[in-house]
Amino acid sequence: MSTAVTLDAPCFVICTPMSSPLDWDLARQRSELLELMRTLCYREGDFKLSSGQSSSYYIDSKKATLHPLGALLAGSLLYERLPEGTAAIGGLTLGADPIVTAVAVVSALRHPAGGVGAFIVRKEVKKHGSQQWIEGPSLAVGTPVVIVDDVVTTGASGLQAAEKAEEAGLKVVKILALVDRHQGGGALYAGRGYPFEALYSIEEFRSR
């Protein structure tokens, strides 16, 4: 029996294992997540972005990535875009935190004996204890990893995460995102030699 959950959002149904969203084909997963993000995340108005730029629209991705169905779908769709051999996925706190967790959980569901690890890159070094930039499992030098961001504008957040990962000796093989605003981020990554892919372009939200 399906169970409905009440959240500060339209009611979505959490399916039983007999009809898990992970069993949906990728096209349906993508369309369902897009609709969820359009409903929960996209807003128009006057906003100031983390890049310092002003914008007439804003995507608060955490309203989807912290939603049970949204997390599952984002984790599944991004997991399918990991290059073969990827050992872990990470990103800059806070936008990447629920995403890397979702991808790691989905990877364990897909491959119970393995899966990919998750790590979080701090915005500033920890000032006590281990005093480290990266939180998560210990990864050997040269470990292939993917960096993920929620919404890419200038690309600064993803680049910061990639640079800190490489300073730790990891090999960044790709950068992923939920949404590309097409404001220079993709070009920045390409210029640094990082393959980049986003699940959605901003036009898919603004043309609704």
In the sheet that 134-135 helps form, which strands lie side by side, from edge to edge?
Answer: 134-135, 117-121, 88-92, 144-152, 171-180, 196-201
Rg (C-alpha) for the chain, rounded Å, is 17
Q: What is the pTM of this model?
A: 0.89
Tokens 């629209």: give the residue. 57
Expressed as residue numbers, the domain containing 120 is 3-206
Cβ neighbours for 184, distance < 8 A, ≥ 6 positions apart = 153, 154, 155
The 3-class SS string of 114-135 reads CCCEEEEECCCCCCCCCCCCEE
Instruction: List, as residue ranges, the binding site for 5-phospho-alpha-D-ribose 1-diphosphate.
Output: 122-123, 126, 128, 149-157
Please report, rounded to a whole number, the percentage of residues in the chain having pLDDT higher than 70: 90
CA–CA gap between residue 74 and residue 32 (Å, rounded): 10
| pLDDT of res. 2 | 43
Give strand pairing partners of 118: 89
Instruction: List, as residue ranges, the binding site.
Output: 122-123, 126, 128, 149-157, 181
**Tens of pLDDT, residues 82-108:** 999 999 999 999 999 999 999 999 999
Number of structural domains in the chain: 1
**Tens of pLDDT, residues 131-156:** 899 999 999 999 999 999 999 999 99
Mean pLDDT on 152-163: 98
Instruction: List, as residue ranges, the binding site for orotate.
Output: 153, 181
Whether residue 69 is predicted with pLDDT greater than 80 in this model: the reply is yes
Q: Which long-range contacts (CB under 8 A, 24 or more apart) does 3-9 make?
A: 5/68, 7/67, 9/39, 9/40, 9/63, 9/67
CA–CA gap between residue 120 and residue 98 (Å, rounded): 10
CATH of the domain at 114: 3.40.50.2020
Higher-confidence residue: 112 or 76? 76
Alpha-carbon distance values, 130 to 127, 133, 135, 166 (Å): 8, 9, 10, 18
